[in-house]
Amino acid sequence: MNLPNKLTVFRIILIPVFILLLALPLDWGTLNGLGATLPVTHLIAAIVFIVASLTDLLDGKIARAQHLVTNFGKFADPLADKMIVMTAFIFLVKLDFAPAWVVSIIVCRELAVTGLRLLIVEQNGAVMAAAMPGKIKTTTQMLAIIFLLLHDVFFGMLSIPFGAIMLYICLFFTIYSGADYFIQNRHVFVDSSNE
């Protein structure tokens, strides 16, 4: 197994660690300062999520730079990304840090675009590359998750709900990028008999 695929597997292994940190009734105390009261478990969960996000950046760059792109990587890398992000958003709803309706839209968009990607591969044999709005969506998702888990530390003194702001920016780019992918690839829904 090459290094990019090992990073992807490592990211998948981090998911149950992330879940346990937020699901178990662990009380490791709180940290106070920088305008926020932060449970230690949320801090550790945020660190786990940051590590997972960094492996996402690294595995793709390494795979392309060293020509190590594999079918396993094409399958597992986007799956691992969706799994950790959806897991994080579900826990943000449980913790009452994010509205369920926002997370529902995000999850539905992720599933719809994943289905679209499968159709494109089936019809064209090509993988749909991530467009810039999709990359912005991913970045804002990760920032929203991190800062919501960190209780807006660094921004609390300024009374700026940075995590919530990023969540709604993420929602905008989630909808925009999803619509863009479907508009750009609408040809996959045209039956050959109707052409």
Contact (CB, 8 A) for 80 and 12: yes
Rounded distance between C-alpha atoms, residue 195 and residue 191, angstroms: 7
Over range 120-127, report the average pLDDT: 75
* Tokens encoding 182: 């479907």
Is residue 192 in a domain?
no
What is the model's pTM? 0.87
Is residue 193 in a domain?
no
Is residue 104 in a domain?
yes
Over range 10-36, report the average pLDDT: 86
34 — pLDDT class (breaks 50, 70, 90): low
Rounded distance between C-alpha atoms, residue 74 and residue 94, angstroms: 31
Contact (CB, 8 A) for 109 and 152: no
> How many domains are contained in the chain?
1
Is residue 195 in a domain?
no
More confident site: 108 or 61? 108
Is residue 12 in a domain?
yes
Rounded distance between C-alpha atoms, residue 18 and residue 8, angstroms: 15
Over range 74-98, report the average pLDDT: 92
Q: 């040809």: which residue's tokens?
A: 187
Over range 13-41, report the average pLDDT: 85
Is residue 191 in a domain?
no
Rounded distance between C-alpha atoms, residue 112 and residue 188, angstroms: 14
Residue numbers of the domain that contains 37? 3-186
Is residue 65 in a domain?
yes
Rounded distance between C-alpha atoms, residue 40 and residue 17, angstroms: 15
φ/ψ of 37, rounded to 5, equals -110, 120
Q: CATH no. for residue 137?
A: 1.20.120.1760
State the angle between helix axes of 71-94 and 100-124 in degrees (0 to 180), rounded to the nearest 10.
170
